[in-house]
């Protein structure tokens, strides 16, 4: 079943790259006590994700934070090193936290998986964004296949 607004985000484990190496991040503690704008992309370095989705959140980070967002996070079914390299190449430092989900646990727990095998990508997360307040989904924006409209930073700004 797909997660809905008002639901608590299930506990899963992300990994982020730090200067000391990969660091496990439990979603329960990550979302606790704060408002997080999180968006999921089908894959790091993929065309729409690199040209529009991630750059939009980098460009709008200050505006989102001015409207009450404590942290902005990007997640994808990629390993922590790929997410770290993509973040570095995209200039996200201080704007967007890159959360790797190499095993796809987050979209699976949310009911937001997609089959990317037609493109050689296997099972991935759908393109979506959420506003999570203290672990509870306040806004959920899931894209139709092949679309990029409701999960953008601009759309989220309109929801705040």
Q: Which residues of 131-160 are buried (b: 16+ CB within 10 A; e: fewer)?
A: bbbebebbbbbbbeeeebebbbbeebbeee
Which residues are known to be catalytic?
Answer: 49
Q: Are 124 and 27 in contact (CB under 8 A)?
A: no
């Amino acid at each position: 079943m797909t997660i809905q607004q008002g639901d608590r985000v299930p506990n899963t484990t992300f990994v982020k790259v730090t200067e000391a190496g990969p660091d496990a991040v439990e979603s329960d503690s990550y979302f606790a006590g704060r408002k997080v704008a999180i968006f999921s992309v089908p894959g790091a370095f993929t065309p729409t994700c690199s040209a529009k989705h991630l750059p939009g959140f980098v460009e709008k980070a200050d505006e989102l934070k001015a409207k009450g967002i404590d942290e902005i996070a990007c997640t994808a079914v990629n390993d922590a090193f790929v997410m770290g390299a993509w973040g570095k190449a995209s200039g996200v430092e201080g704007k967007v936290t890159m959360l790797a989900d190499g095993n796809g646990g987050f979209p699976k727990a949310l009911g937001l998986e997609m089959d990317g095998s037609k493109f050689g990508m296997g099972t991935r997360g759908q393109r979506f964004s959420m506003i999570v307040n203290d672990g509870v989904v306040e806004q959920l924006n899931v894209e139709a296949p092949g679309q990029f409209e409701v999960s953008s930073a601009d759309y989220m700004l309109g929801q705040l």
